[in-house]
Amino acid sequence: MTGLTRGLAGRTAMVTGGAQGIGAAVAERLCAEGCRVLIYDKSAEHGRAAVDAWLAKGHEVRLAVGDVTDQAAVKAAFADVPDEWERPTLLVNLAAGFVFKGLEATAEEWHAALDPTIVGLSLVTREFVAGLPERGADAAIVNMASISAHIAQSGYLTYNTGKAAVLGFTRCMAQDLAPQGIRVNSVSPGTVWNANNERFHHEALGLDRATAESDPEHGGKFLLKRFADPEEIAAPIAFLLSSGASFITGTDLPVDGGYLAV
């Protein structure tokens, strides 16, 4: 995949939530593009397994373990960038709270839903920006939204509210950081067939991927009549980080198989 996007080779990127699923696919893609990648994830187990695999392939990758809502841990993660690496000028914010509740959600559940998605997003972005020069770093940020940020879904109040806030955060940061030449965008994926979704469809619905994708209430809701693979989300993220997207900021890119078109 090296060379498919412009201006990524030799850059340093941080990917939060990069140990599994879409995050791991993003890290893999950026490594393949020649980036040095700092993975920031709260799971030491999954993080070390992923990093060991990438190191074995010859990629330059490092793991920082911590919670995005822990300000001290966030600072430590950026401070732990190897001396021979450039300071990160690319940031992918994927860490989020996955709580699916309606109005019955407790205060604790709201915190679990919103703190990683918005507070953590803010803390990581602030630390990232603080380490950049005043101008000229060609820096770019991509935040993870969702089709759920754009629509109403019964029983998803906590999750959809958090993802809708990501859209607002992205637009505001794009405006505030434009004078420094920092671009800020988001992507809104549809359903992605990762380990969590596979487990949910199997355990809760008794469906394998083929059956779920052929079901009109699941894969059938997408124009392409299927779910995405994580790599299909990683590729647009890499594009938005690259110089190929140099005049794109403050926007959201749906990567949703046509879901929001109908």
pLDDT tens, per residue, the chain with 262 residues: 444 568 899 999 999 999 999 999 999 999 999 999 999 999 999 999 999 999 999 999 999 999 999 999 999 999 989 999 999 999 999 999 999 999 999 999 999 999 999 999 999 999 999 999 888 789 999 999 999 999 999 999 999 999 999 999 999 999 999 999 999 999 999 999 988 889 889 888 899 999 999 999 999 999 999 999 999 999 999 999 999 999 999 999 999 999 999 8
| CA pair distance 141, 139, nearest whole angstrom | 7
| CA pair distance 200, 192, nearest whole angstrom | 12
Say if 58 falls within a structural domain.
yes
Q: How far is CA 38 from the centre of its chain?
A: 13
Provide the domain limits for residue 141. 12-192+228-256
- Please calculate the CA angle 107-95-226 and round it to the nearest 5 degrees: 105
Say if 207 falls within a structural domain.
no
- 3-state SS, 68-119, equals CCCHHHHHHHHHCCCCCCCCCCEEEECCCCCCCCCCCCCHHHHHHHHHHHHH
Say if 211 falls within a structural domain.
no
Residue 159: active-site member? yes
Say if 209 falls within a structural domain.
no
Say if 21 falls within a structural domain.
yes
pLDDT at 4: 55
* CATH number of the domain enclosing 45: 3.40.50.720
Catalytic residue chosen out of the listed positions 40, 156, 159, 259: 159
Say if 115 falls within a structural domain.
yes
145-149 — which CB contacts under 8 Å span 24+ positions?
A: 145/170, 145/186, 145/187, 145/188, 145/252, 146/188, 146/189, 147/188, 147/189, 147/190, 147/254, 147/256, 147/259, 147/260, 149/188, 149/252
Calculate the CA dihedral of residues 156, 160, 162, 167 and round it to 10 degrees: 180
pLDDT at 88: 97
Looking at the 3D structure of the chain, how many domains does it have?
1
